[in-house]
Amino acid sequence: MTCQIAVKAGLMEPFERVSTGIPKLDQMLGGGLLKGKTYLVTGETGVGKTILSLQFLLEGLKNGENCIYISLDERIEGVLRGALSLGWNLWEYIEQGIFHPFELRLYAEDLKRFGKESRAFVDALARIAAGRPVNRIVLDPISALAAGAREELVIREYLREIVNMMEEKFGATTMLTCDIPTGSNKLSRFGFEEFLASGVIVLGVTRFYGKLLKTIYVRKMRWSRADSAIYTFEIRPGEGIVILEPLSEVMDSSMLSNL
């Protein structure tokens, strides 16, 4: 009763927050991600989704949290070397036993037995955790889980089961990345992944005066107020994603300078 009264009175947050490792993004999300929920990071190829997801994990690793990274597309060696090029030595956390990067490959024909296969997938994560509490999980990209499958209902149920089972079994804060076709206005590869997530972060590229500007905005944030403005960002060595001014301000200042 005391907790309920405190929440109603605005004295405390109803949910514990988890930092993304990007201060400005935390502000845009209303204070960070809600602990134990699942979030979708979506955008075209090459916009920085994997970097954002690794930055999210790195924030947890620095605090001694157990983190799992599942690559469903690229070789782990390539991901770790890519992180090293940004100045992030993830091998040290592997040696500490708190970072668990793995590759998983699933085939479209397996989706016909989605109930069994989704449980097997989550059980595989449990074996990776080896009884340790898991704080953060990244699946990169979730679209690869259902690549080649033709039956939408099967894909939908398969992904829904995986997301629900992960939340129930681990209670970890989970980030899913998703590739969308270049030039598409969709938020996800199959058109429904965004409904499975408690929040959606969209990365993109905008052409403006001959330049390519990377953009980021919060499309959805369940149970929390969010800043829906579109911001520009850069990827910097040692820092990762650094969010800059709103896209509208960049456009206004450029137009004024060209008058």
Which domains are delineated in the chain? 14-203 (3.40.50.300)
pLDDT tens, N- to C-terminus, the chain (259 residues): 334 443 444 555 677 999 999 999 999 999 999 999 999 999 988 899 999 999 999 999 999 999 999 998 889 999 999 999 999 999 999 999 999 998 876 554 444 444 456 777 788 888 888 888 999 999 998 877 655 555 666 677 777 888 888 889 999 999 999 887 666 666 555 555 667 789 999 999 988 777 889 999 999 898 888 998 999 999 999 999 999 999 988 877 655 455 4
> Is the dihedral angle over the CA atoms 186, 177, 175, 160 positive or is it negative?
positive
Q: Which strands make up the sheet holding 136-140, listed edge to edge? A: 99-103, 67-71, 136-140, 173-179, 38-43, 199-208, 211-221, 231-236, 240-246
* 76-109: burial string, b at 16+ Cβ within 10 Å, e else: eeebbeebeebebebeebeeeebbbbeeeebeee
